[in-house]
Structure formats: C-alpha cells, structure tokens
Structure 1
Amino acid sequence: MEVSDQDSSGSASQTEGELEMDEEMDEEMGGEVNGEGEEKHVDSSSPSLASYATTLRAVIRIKMKYQAMKKRRQELAWALTGAPKQGSPKIFTFDLPTLRSFPALSSSVQPRRKRRRKKRVLFPNRRGARAPPKQEHSRAKYCLYLLFAIVFIQVYNAIENLDDHVLRYDLDGLEKTLRREVFGQQGAVGALLSHLKEYLSTYVHNKPLVVSLHGPTGVGKSHLGRLLAGHFRSVVGEELVLQYYVLHHCPRETGALHCARNLSALISDMVKRAEEEEKIPLFVFDEAEHIHGEILDALRRPLSSKQSNEHLNAIYLFLNSLGHAHITDHVLRNASSVFMGMSASGHYGNIVKELTPILRSTLETLHPLWAEAEVLPLGLLEKGHVVGCFLDEMTREGFYPDHANIERLAGEIEYYPEVGGRQYSKTGCKQVVAKVNLL
C-alpha cells in the first residue's frame, strides 16, 4: 500500500482523462473486492487467499497507471516532434506542428535559431606548408607602358619640331639686331618680338599676324621695317619678303584700283610659294597712312578670310604715323613719371594701356582693316637717343666718333621744351643721315 500511496501522490498532476480512468479501474477492482469479501465472509477459513488477491490488485493497478502515463507521454512527444502516431497512415504533409492543444508547452518550447559558425582559418604546418601562389602579371601592363612611351615620344618630337621651326627664323639673332640698332624703342621691340615668337612657334594658324606700328616722324618706324625685312630675306628668301612703299608703287590715286589688283595677285603668288616651301612670308607696308581705300579693301580680304587656309600663314607689318598727336601728347604729359623712376618696360606698358583704345577708335573710323591689327605705339626719342643715332651713322660712314662733334650735331636738332629733366626731339633721328653726309 505504500507503493499505491506514492503513485497516488505522484499522479496528482495527471489530466482529467487519467483520473476518470482511475475511477473506472477502482470501480472494477471494488467489485472484485466486494465479491471476494463475500467469499471471505462465506469462507473465512482461507486468509492467505485474500491477502494474495489484494497484492495482485495493487500490482495490476500500478501497471495500468504506468501504461496510461506512458501512452500520454508518447502522444505528447508525437505532438511536439510531428512524428506520426503508431497505427496511423504515414502521410507527408507541409503542415507544421502546432502547439495549440498544449498552451503551457507552446509558450515554453520555442525553436532555437541556428547560429552561423565562422569558418575556421586553418594554417598549414610549416613542414607541409605550400608556397603562396604567384601573382600573374597581366600583359596589358606592357601595352600600357608602350602606349605611354609612344605618347611621350610624339610630344617630345612635337616640341622639338616647334623649336626647330622657331630656330629656322633665328629670332634670337633678330632680337640682338633690333636692340642694338633701334634706339629708344626697347618696349616696342620687346612687344614685337613677343608677337613674332608666339606666331612662329607653330606653322598652323587660324589667322595671319597683323601688326601696326604707330609713331611720330623720325622715331624709327622705317628703320625697324628695313631691319625686319633684311632678316627675313636671309631666312626665308628674297622671293617671300615684300616691302611695299605706297608713295613709290602707287603714287596716283587714279591708279589705286589697278594697284590693288596687282598687289592681290602678288600676295597670292607669294603665299602659294610659301605654302609649298612650308615657310611664312613677310609683307611690310611703309607709309601706310597714304594707302588708298581700294588697296585697303584688297588687303582686308586675305586678312579676314576664314574660308581658305592659303592666306592664314603670313605676317603683315604696317608702318604709319596715324595717331601721332595722341602719342606725343601722352609722352610729354607723363615724362615726369619716367623721371621719377619708372622703368622703360613699365613706361611702355603704360603707354600701350592708355593709347591702344584711343588709337583703335581713331583707326576704325578710317577703315575696318585696322580692327584686325595689333597696335604698337612708338614713343618720342630723347636727346641721348639722337646722340646714339649720330654715333652709329658716323661709324657706318667711316668718320671718327668725336664726342664733341656728335654733341654739336645733336644740339642742332629741334626739341620740345624740357619736361621732367628730359628733352624730346621733334624730328627724332630723321635729320641724322643728312647732317652726317654734310661732314
């Protein structure tokens, strides 16, 4: 009976179905006990049989309870795992097991999330370690290096060709000649050389180079043109340089139209020849203030032409005295700034900055051709510049350069009133040649 008490105390938590089953078993066992009691009452002479029957009933009751508990546990396990019950057909379904019939277990039992395990890094043993794989070099790198080398060679050759093209015209020698023989115009000479270097650095251009030099009488315009023409003759040849003196080639206005046609044909022939020889011709127009309107019209067509490439590679130099009154007035008014310490280049830059708009407005009213030109004004010459002109001319003629004689000849030149401690010549070096010839 101690075993039955323990079973009864241990099965306190059973379900209602188990309790009903126990009651039915008790009733059956009770009936049997009552029958045996009657037999005991009838036959009280056999006590050993009754004790044996009681023990047997307890054993049977314990066994039945154990089987009932075992059956309930199996059903619960099948419900949790989804395994089919014994005796039921094994049918595969996609329905997941539900725990609605077991609310107490559904809240406590939840599927665990699978954790991804990190791959372990396995290091080989030193003895059996394999050599690291060699990186395969792509052949495209060598092609890229070859392309870089080709581009570098092409750029280097282009630079060398530009240098060769500039060296062909010997601009360094031209610079030395102009700075040595042109007096008082160092700023204008530097600006002119800058335009020439920039234009002659390449052979392909989108427009011709047009430079217009303006200045009063005797400041060196014609002398500068002669020096430039002589240098280009020695470089590109006699047939590719034209010095056009308007008063000499076309003195009469009645023949201006005929002169314009002849000049246009001459320029076309020279440009075509220069294209064949891959050279740049030079056209110098001296005393351009006397050029007739028909000639200016004929010159404007090749200067402003953008349809044909035959007239784009050429240099046009116009020497004239247009706007000389503005230049003279500006130099005399700003002579004190030069005396106060402004350098020659700074003074010329100031002249160009202030005079270029004035000169352009004056020239464009005369003819549209001047809108295509780079304007370079030439300043007045001082007494020291006139002395240098006398010294150079006397040396050329073979006279002994006596300083006292040179000062006397320079004193005979007419000058403007002294401004800022400086004397500017009214005629520049115009009369130097004539006075030296009188010696």
Structure 2
Amino acid sequence: MRVTRLLTPLCFLSCVQTTSAFEPFTTSVLIGVGVGLLPLGRQIVHYFLENCDDNWIAFNSTGLKETLEAKLFGQHLATQIILKAVTGFVNNKKPKKPLVLSLHGWTGTGKNLVSQMIAEHLYRKGMQSDFVHQFVSTAHFPHADHIDTYKDQLQQWVRGNVTSCARSLFIFDEMDKMHPGLIDSIKPFLDYYETMDGVSYRQAIFIFLSNAGGEKITRVALDFWNEGKKREEIQLKDLETAVSLEVFNNKNSGFWHTSLIDKNLVDFFVPFLPLEMKHVRMCVKEELKSRNKKPDEEIVNTVVEEMTYFPREEKIFSDKGCKTVEKKLDYYL
C-alpha cells in the first residue's frame, strides 16, 4: 500500500470545505469520520515515514558487537573502542557534549565500514536515514578560495539538521584532504555547551575519517612484528597520543592546528592497523559470502596473491587493505 493512499484521511476536512454539493447530514458524517480517522492517520504516517523517535532510532549494541566481530578483520583496538564509546554515549541520558570519534589508518582498513555499521545499528534505515549526513572533502569542499563560504554552509547544515533531530550522525570523510581551518567552524557545536542559540548538540555523533596518521600506525605495527609480538598486544596508549600529534602538526591535513584537538574535543582517536595477508583472505571470503557464493579456495588464493604487500621483502601488510577485493572478485566471477 502506498503512503499517498494512507494520507487520504488527513484531507477530509479541507476536502469538505471546498465541496458545496454535500447535504448537511452527509457533510456532518464525513467531518465526524475525518476527525475520528485523524489520530489513526497520524499513526499510520508516523509508522511509514521516518521520524526522530524511538521507532526509527534505537541503538542495537548486541548487533553492533556481533557485526564488528564478524566483519571487521584485524582491528581489535577499533572494535573495542567503537563498541564501548558508542554504547556508553547512547546509554547516557545526559551527555555533556556530542560524541566525537576520529578514525585513522591506511585505505581499505575498515574506517568507512565501521561508520556504516554504527549507522546500521542506530537507525532503522541505516545509511539511508535522513538523520545520517556524510560529507566528502573533495566533493563538498573542493576549492580553497571558497573556504569562508564552506564554513557558513557547514555551520548551517549542522545547525539545521540537529534542530530537526538531536540524534543526528555526521560523517566527515577524507579529513586528510580537507582545507586546514575549515573544520574549526563547527568547534562550538562539539564543545561543552548546554545549548547554542537554543539548540542542544549533546545527543549528536561526529565521526571523522582520515588516512593521516596511517604511517605512524604502520610503523608501530611493524615494530611489534619485528619484535615477535602479536598485533593484538598493541594497546591504545601505544598509538593515540602519537596519532593525534601527527595529524595536528600535518600542514596538509584538515586537523592541522585545529582547536578540536587543541581543546580536547575529540573523544577518541581510533587507530586502524594495516591488514595482513590472513585478513585479506577473510575479506575475500566475506565478500563471497555476501554474494551467496561458496568460498572457492582457488579464487580466494588468486585474489589474495594478486594483492600487493609491504615491506617488499617480508610482504607483511597489504598496501591497499581490502579495498580492491570487490573489484577483483568482479573480474574472476
């Protein structure tokens, strides 16, 4: 049944007012029926059209945990941090500021995937929700000489969307390509203010995705490997401060000397480790599974072996993570 048909009861009163052919008795009956159906009509519309309420926004912590463990490969730190940070924030009825996560690591390690997972387990419509807003630096903010305009637009977009729904999710991709200084325009919305011009931003979630810091993360992972340690022994304290300093001092990063870092408004810097060959193999099998294909070992081995790895001699880490797995499978299937 189409939504437009379900809206019909809501037009009874206006329709009656513009129709003179009804007799008084018929008109009164129709008005009575229309008024009686209004609450039902609202409920039906409320059910089918997304609203900023518990019917459409309900966090599934168990589902997020299971998805992270099943589909995010080789990222023990990201899995732990994301699950605890998001669960704790959503369950806090009176947070003092929005949740701000900054995800860092080389391409293909799972940063975009994690953002999608959060959306899928917070909103019924997932990434298609009207309350999920994704910005890509090279697409939305391409010209350096328009930065003042971008700042105004960005403030308006954030303010307008949070006004519409307090539990809004903002995803900023390619932070390493964003013009320095631009992201500072939303600093007031991420701070510890109860309201800004009558609007509270404390229920919102901001996620930044960046390749910046990837070199430092890889260096630490390689050091652990050279020392014979397992990657699972890497702890957040081994990386968080170093990553935040690296992106803060990177002149080519959107986080260069940003007040978001200087004022400690980023709650967690989440490192994504470079993926090893065994993780690429997991990615290939998961992609086959998502296509309802059997894990053909010949195809799996071919795709895994075609990927390129570094350092050149040891071939420990995939230089593209799992990013090209999908396209390679398109070719072989």
Give the TM-score of the pair, scaled to structure 1.
0.55
User: Does residue 304 of structure 2 align to residue 410 of structure 1?
Assistant: yes
Q: CA deviation at 1:336?
A: 4.4
Structure 2 residue identity aligned to 1:385: H
* 8 Å contact from structure 2 (residues 99, 205) kept in 1: yes
Match of 1:356 in 2: 240
Gaps of 5+ in 1: 1-163
Match of 1:394 in 2: 288
Match of 1:178 in 2: 68
* 8 Å contact from structure 2 (residues 105, 210) kept in 1: yes
User: Does residue 157 of structure 2 align to residue 266 of structure 1?
Assistant: yes
User: Does residue 182 of structure 2 align to residue 289 of structure 1?
Assistant: no
Matches of 1:202 and 1:188, distance apart in 2: 21
Matches of 1:437 and 1:404, distance apart in 2: 15
Secondary structure, counterpart of 1:429 in structure 2: coil
Matches of 2:132 and 2:219, distance apart in 1: 35
Secondary structure, counterpart of 2:287 in structure 1: helix
Q: CA deviation at 1:398?
A: 4.5
Distance 1:170 1:398, change over 3 A: closer
Q: 1:231 aligns with which of 121, 130, 134?
A: 121
Q: CA deviation at 1:251?
A: 2.1
* 8 Å contact from structure 1 (residues 232, 282) kept in 2: no
* 8 Å contact from structure 1 (residues 239, 270) kept in 2: no
Matches of 1:233 and 1:245, distance apart in 2: 21
* 8 Å contact from structure 1 (residues 216, 380) kept in 2: yes
Matches of 1:307 and 1:400, distance apart in 2: 53
Deviations 1:125-165 (A, max 9, x none): xxxxxxxxxxxxxxxxxxxxxxxxxxxxxxxxxxxxxxx99
Q: CA deviation at 1:368?
A: 2.1
User: Does residue 254 of structure 2 align to residue 369 of structure 1?
Assistant: no
Distance 1:283 1:297, change over 3 A: same
Secondary structure, counterpart of 2:234 in structure 1: helix
Structure 1 residue identity aligned to 2:161: M
Structure 2 residue identity aligned to 1:383: M
Matches of 1:181 and 1:320, distance apart in 2: 20
Deviation beyond 6 Å, 4+ runs, structure 1: none
Distance 1:417 1:293, change over 3 A: closer
Matches of 1:307 and 1:220, distance apart in 2: 33
* 8 Å contact from structure 1 (residues 257, 294) kept in 2: no
* 8 Å contact from structure 2 (residues 309, 315) kept in 1: no
Q: CA deviation at 1:248?
A: 1.9
Matches of 1:316 and 1:233, distance apart in 2: 15
Matches of 2:149 and 2:96, distance apart in 1: 29
Secondary structure, counterpart of 2:124 in structure 1: helix
- Give matches, 1:309-328, under 5 Å: 310-328=200-218
Secondary structure, counterpart of 2:170 in structure 1: strand
Q: CA deviation at 1:301?
A: 2.1
Secondary structure, counterpart of 1:438 in structure 2: helix
Higher helix share: 1
Distance 1:428 1:412, change over 3 A: same
Q: CA deviation at 1:435?
A: 0.8
User: Does residue 219 of structure 2 align to residue 333 of structure 1?
Assistant: no
Secondary structure, counterpart of 1:247 in structure 2: helix
* 8 Å contact from structure 1 (residues 213, 377) kept in 2: yes
Matches of 2:180 and 2:315, distance apart in 1: 40
Matches of 1:190 and 1:235, distance apart in 2: 25
Matches of 1:418 and 1:183, distance apart in 2: 23
Q: CA deviation at 1:204?
A: 1.3
Gaps of 5+ in 2: 1-53, 250-255
Matches of 2:58 and 2:124, distance apart in 1: 11
Deviations 1:327-372 (A, max 9, x none): 11111111145x55x572xx231xx212222122223331222332
Match of 2:42 in 1: none
Give the TM-score of the pair, scaled to structure 2.
0.72
Larger relative CO (CA 8 A, sep 6+): 1 or 2?
Answer: 2
Q: CA deviation at 1:422?
A: 7.9
* 8 Å contact from structure 1 (residues 211, 376) kept in 2: yes
Larger-Rg structure: 1
Match of 2:277 in 1: 383
Matches of 2:219 and 2:209, distance apart in 1: 20
Secondary structure, counterpart of 1:234 in structure 2: coil
Task: Determine what percentage of the aligned residue pairs are the same residue.
Answer: 25
